[in-house]
A and B are shown apart, each in its own frame.
Chain A
Amino acid sequence: MKTKLTSSQTVGPFFAPLLRGDLSQMVSAETRGERVVIEGRVLDGNGDPVPDAMIEIWQANAEGRYDHPEDMQEKRLDPAFHGFGRVGTNARGEFTIHTIVPGAVPAQSAQSQAIWQAPHLNLIVFARGLLTRLVTRIYFPGEIANDSDPVLCAVPAGRRATLIAKDIERLAADKAASRRLCFDIVLQGANETVFFDV
């Protein structure tokens, strides 16, 4: 190490310029993959909504490849999907993300045979009152691969459910619409979301 790191400071309450351009819509008509709408709320330790949080999303494409030069898997890139999203919470603490279900990506593995991670979205949460960003993941309900995902398995069993989105019932008339999921981010208290030290 030749130079020393710059410390984190809170995003504060006045970050609206970062939300210019709607980055909550991560897909276009040409994007490959299963559409999913993820709705949720950010809640504090009193159960009150957090109206000044910003969530950033980073994910692989439908085949499980990240649009990044260090992902050298032999999978196709999708020119209509880059994997980054950003959304602010509204006055009720709510956010909505429009994306696709990513494919599985490999885990860190010293062995020659790959260990796969279950499909997931990587999230960073910033807010007034958070001095250092929080890192979490959204996993998908009903995925067999969740049971063997090395990151989920590192989480105490009783807290894993905080990382798995819940299906929202679709009305019969709505069956053609995108899959809808719910994922609340609880910053503190009972049902506190699992956050990762990366």
Chain B
Amino acid sequence: MTVVGYRRPAPGINPDNNSSAYASTRARAPRHPAIRIEHTLSEITGPHFETGGASAIDLTRGARGEALGERIIVTGRVLDDDGRAIAGALIETWQANAAGRYAHESDQHDAPLDPNFAGAGRIISDSDGAYRLVTIKPGAYPWRNHPNAWRPQHIHFSVFGTGFAARLITQMYFPGDPLLAIDPIFQSVADPDARARLVAALQMDVTVAEYALGYRFDIVLRGRDATPPQE
């Protein structure tokens, strides 16, 4: 059986787990280099999820009313690095509320919860790879990485492409956030162009007048070494 592998990311795209400015890496990053293996069926295959799931969701409508904070629209496409749309990709998002607090039992930040905002979404990309999320702009929040440490505003994205080798979890940031320059997690990406791609773009053609600012965030997963054989 001929297996067409996934292209390897260029150096500097994915962070080195040994990034000691992010304190939690110190006891958790493996010390041995990962052992490179050629891709087999085990790596090029992967789970698929329900097709026909919603490609557009709105997290701002709570059971008892509208979520508090600045409503925003985040939209984009899931692509491979040949620019091909990935249809049917599962996208899961989670984030803090407008006050910088997660609806999570271990978040002890002294900021209010919003009973109308759970902050977690599940989206299936459409036939063009597109998705659309209406949500609340998350607040910055303190963390214990170093004294007076604050995370920049961000939304977590988990994405499944077509193969397990392309599995990605990342974070989307906002343009102009002054905390980006001093955030050890964002700065763990060595390549400045790759860092810039984690920052969504404010776009007036996504913005809806009298409703919400719109941001564009495309998610690009690894492509293939060659065109895979069709069934």
Contacts and interface: CB of A to CB of B under 8 A. Distances in A.
A17 interface: yes
B16 interface: yes
Interface in A5-38: 5-18
A4 B10 CA distance: 10
Interface string B29-47: 1111111111111111111
- Interface residues of chain A: helix, strand, loop or mixed (majority): loop
Interface stretch (B65-73, B166-174, B207-215): B166-174
B18 to A, nearest CB: 9
A188 B26 CA distance: 9
A187 B35 contact: no
Interface in A122-156: 122, 124, 126-135, 137, 151, 154-155
Contacts of A6: 168, 170, 197-198, 218-221
Contacts of A71: 41, 45
Nearest to B184: A131
Contacts of B39: 108, 198
B130 to A, nearest CB: 15
A4 B197 contact: yes
B181 interface: no
A155 B219 CA distance: 33
Contacts of B146: none
B206 interface: no
B81 A3 contact: yes
A17 B92 contact: yes
B3 interface: yes
- Which size class do B's interface residues fall under? 35 or more
B156 A5 contact: no
Interface in A53-91: 56, 58, 60, 66-73, 82-84
A50 B28 CA distance: 9
B188 to A, nearest CB: 5
A17 B28 contact: no
Contacts of B46: 58, 68, 84
A2 B104 contact: no
Most chain B CB within a 10 A radius of its CB, from A14, A109, A130:
A14
Contacts of B169: 8-11, 126, 133
B228 interface: yes
16 contacts: A4-B197, A5-B194, A7-B195, A11-B156, A12-B171, A16-B104, A17-B94, A18-B158, A45-B31, A68-B162, A68-B163, A106-B40, A117-B42, A188-B28, A194-B35, A196-B37
Interface of B: 1, 3, 5-7, 9-10, 13-17, 19, 22, 24-48, 79-83, 92, 94, 96, 102, 104-107, 118-120, 156, 158, 162-165, 167-171, 185-186, 188-189, 191, 193-195, 197-198, 218-223, 228-229, 231
